[in-house]
Amino acid sequence: MTDTGLACALLGVNSQTIWEDKTLLGQVLETFVYQELRKLAGWHDENLNFYHFRNKDKVEVDIVIEQGTKFAGIEVKAAATVKKDDFKALYKLKEALGEKFASGIVFYDGDHILPFGERLYAVPLSLLAPPAVKQ
């Protein structure tokens, strides 16, 4: 399924249901981001592989993208603000990968790209979707 809206409709989930269930909101949002990144990967000249990261301490990164010998970590937050603690899993991934770590991104519901250390950024979710066409 590559359409989050269609998936929600088939599951009987609507905006009210998602608003009331923050766990469901997080799951739907992560799925949306994953699907958008997969679509964008189709435009890339080199093959990109997608993974999920979890270490022995059960620290998880939502999405890990591999290109050759480099990796990028992606976290998804359904919040309008981002704090350093939101990068905890990305710090662990960066530590595990060393020089193979290209960058880490936390997608959030804000308006600005914000730096959070070397190769770590908070990026607005809105940058994943193309702007509406005005007629």
CATH number of the domain that residue 43 is part of: 3.40.1350
Domain coverage including residue 57: 4-128
Residue 32 lies in a domain: yes
pLDDT < 70 positions in the chain: 1-2, 130-135
Residue 133 lies in a domain: no
CB 106, CB 77: distance < 8 Å:
yes
Kindly report the pTM of this predicted structure.
Answer: 0.84
Q: Is 135 contained in some domain?
A: no
pLDDT of residue 12: 80
Does a structural domain hold residue 67? yes
| Backbone dihedral region for residue 58 (phi beyond 0: left; psi -120 to 50: alpha; all else: beta) | left
The number of distinct structural domains making up the chain is 1
